[in-house]
Chain A
Amino acid sequence: MTGLTLDRVTKVFDDDGGDVVAVDDVTIDIEDGEFLVLVGPSGCGKSTTLRMIAGLESVTRGEIRLGDEVVNRKPPKDRDIAMVFQSYALYPHMTVRGNMRFGLEESTDMSDDEIERKVTETAEMLGISDLLDRKPGELSGGQRQRVALGRAIVRDPEVFLMDEPLSNLDAKLRAEMRTELLRLQEDLGVTTVYVTHDQTEAMTMGDRIAILNGGKLMQVATPLEAYHRPANRFVAGFLGEPSMNFFEMEVRGDRLVGASERTAEPSGGSSPEDGDEFVYPVSAETREAIGDASAVTLGVRPEDVELVRTADGPHDFETVVDVVEPTGNENNVYLAFSSESERTFVATISGMRSVEAGQPAIARIPESAIHLFDADTGEALRNRSLDDLEETEPRV
């Protein structure tokens, strides 16, 4: 077993003379046996990164090391990796047995009996023994998915690469396979790189997650760390559903003043006070974290916004309920600072509390829960304090 290192890996595609940087200077150390999830929106370079590790794309700059060995120039077959494709890519003209045998026949000099024994063992582990003599075309989506996994597992590689392997399954099966895949990976202890655009998969499966955006690595961290201590505004907004509320604020002394509405309507028509409707006083400690930034983005997770009965502090704001989305366990409540305001923010409250659209509500945004990001660079200036959380949820 070995770890995998991406050292300043860059991929530049030549697109009709113009260069397109798909992956930009990405450095990740993946430990032996670790489950690393590459996550990001479409076109962020996560699949390209995976394909570079697999050897299906060349590396423009930087190094990929498997253990201590640089594998940049090695063809896929010499890298001791196995890959699960989004479309499974099972060979349609071979039986399941043939599909699983193929890799061993091509890449090892095992005897026929040995191959047969390994295939049978793996099939038993995945519960697909009775499918061995069928062809992929006769299998259901979930069964094909298992065969694709089996084809990778049977080769007993140093590294598993998975490219959105669950995205073709229906929601229920996907949740089942998620747990099963995790259990398998733990049992096998094989270093795994898993690409997904689904943040739930990223959060639930990864030992660590690497968030990519526009080819750049935003953050590599444990799921909880990335959730609670995002390195920048992109990570904060990408993880979490509904996503974090953001407010563009100007720094005025020890107060943050809502800037967005005024910049949205610069030509007047609204009195200056309209822009001042959201004023958030901050403590000295927070003020220090802001430093000399003049504009910041204030972020707060929907579950940290509380609805209270009476406004009795500087962080309580009068709002109007715009829309309520019940999800059963929780209600997503969209709040606006006034009934005319177009801009809303979300609070997640218990599903048992009844709130109705049009009703006034007091929103409390506790200072301990706010994140502040530099308005220009998006870098986190201050993350929420975890003191109040650590008692109930031990960090990983």
Chain B
Amino acid sequence: MRRSIRRLFGGGSGNSDDARPDGGTVTTGRKSALALDGEFVQSLPFWVPPALLVGLFVYGAIGWNVLISLTDWSGLGQPDYGSLDLSMYARLVSDQSFIAAFRNTLVLLVAFTLASLLVGLAVAILIDRGIRFENGFRTVYLLPMSLSFVVTAIFWSWMYNPQVGVINEFLRAVGLGALAQQWISDPRFKLWAVIFALMWQFSGYCMVVYLAGLRAIPTEQYEAAKVDGASTVRMYRRVIIPQLRASTTSAAVVLMVFALKAFDFLFVLFGDTPGPAADILSVMMFREAFSTTNWAYGSAIATVLFALALGVIAPYLFVQYRRGEL
């Protein structure tokens, strides 16, 4: 083992006949039979440590979380692994606040993803039409993506402020004061205000993904459609947008997974009690586990979240796998 490591690192110890410029292929004596073993052994230091780390801290933690959700651990003290049952999941089904959070999570997932994709697509098409200052616009649209959620949440909370926020100020200034609302305290608008702000932050990402997709479509496709008599709108609808399916899928997966864990944004705006109108599973999980120390109950919510994330990712991975792209 030590020898093979030394060989991999080029034998810098000065033992010149051990230093092989060809990367350490064994050329003398007992070879072929041991060659496979040799390669396997040599590759161990590269994949064993990460495999152990990921295995323990990711998959181990997920497994442990599932295990805890089967106990009835709460408060201080240690979980009792002696009696495992599904009582926590039974409690979830009858808990009104869980049902509200679950519904909100789904609304957020669908509305946020669709809105971001649509806005991103629209902006990408506009930029792809060869406008002036294209790079400038691209940066402007992508910039929100690079900001921390804490930052964006705070300044959206300022903008949504009912008295001095820029949105209500603007509405009043153009004579639409009647439309000014208590954006982030009125239960009717809360969730939509969050979705809008998140869309603002993420549509830039969709724009980049779509722009790359648009750039990959040869100009002849546009020209052929024009010569075939299609108007610009119909050209995009029938020829160009259908060819962006791969971009849509990959952007949608990223957005949906993000929507499931949109914790930080809500936490900054509302703390751990957004109220039933804007409560989502990740905030509820945090509240149950860390504020009210219902550990097992929190774990059960986490497991549900995990299942949802898997439900988003798994079909995507499966399709990729079937196409041989994994």
Contact = CB atoms under 8 A, between A and B. Distances in A.
Interface of A: 54-56, 75-77, 81-83, 85-87, 89-93, 102-103, 106-108, 151, 155
A55 B224 CA distance: 11
Contacts of A87: 218, 220
Contact of B243 (A55, A56, A92): A92
Most chain B CB within 10 A, of A77, A82, A90, A107, is at: A77
Given A89-B224, A91-B221, A107 B229 contact: yes
A76 B220 CA distance: 13
Which 10 pairs of residues, A with B, have the shortest CB-CB distance? A107-B229, A89-B220, A103-B228, A77-B229, A89-B224, A106-B229, A106-B230, A93-B242, A83-B227, A76-B226
B221 A89 contact: yes
A77 B225 CA distance: 9
A17 B153 CA distance: 46
B188 interface: no
Contact of A77 (B220, B221, B230, B243): B230
A97 to B, nearest CB: 14
B228 A107 contact: yes
B226 A89 contact: no
Interface residues of B, number: 18
A51 to B, nearest CB: 8
Contact of B239 (A55, A86, A91): A91
B273 interface: no
A106 B220 contact: no
Contact of B227 (A54, A90, A92): A54
A64 to B, nearest CB: 15
B125 to A, nearest CB: 17
A107 B218 CA distance: 22
13 contacts: A55-B226, A56-B227, A77-B228, A83-B227, A85-B220, A89-B218, A89-B221, A93-B242, A102-B238, A103-B227, A103-B229, A107-B228, A107-B229
Given A91-B239, A93-B243, A83 B224 contact: yes
A106 B223 contact: no
B243 to A, nearest CB: 6
B31 interface: no
Nearest to B243: A93
Interface string B116-150: 00000000000000000000000000000000000
A8 to B, nearest CB: 24
Contacts of B230: 77, 102, 106
Interface string B228-245: 111100100011001101
B186 to A, nearest CB: 44
Interface in B233-276: 234, 238-239, 242-243, 245
B241 to A, nearest CB: 10
Contacts of B238: 102, 106
B245 to A, nearest CB: 8
Contacts of A81: 227
Contacts of B231: 77, 106
Contacts of A93: 242-243, 245
A81 to B, nearest CB: 7
Contacts of A82: 227-228
Contacts of A92: 243
B37 to A, nearest CB: 44
A76 B227 contact: yes
Contacts of A56: 223, 226-227
B59 to A, nearest CB: 38
Contacts of B224: 83, 85, 89-91
Contacts of A85: 220, 223-224
B60 to A, nearest CB: 44
Contacts of B227: 54-56, 76-77, 81-83, 103
A91 B241 CA distance: 11
A86 B239 CA distance: 18
A52 B181 CA distance: 55
Contacts of A103: 227-229
Contacts of B220: 85-87, 89
Nearest to A157: B227
A55 B228 CA distance: 12
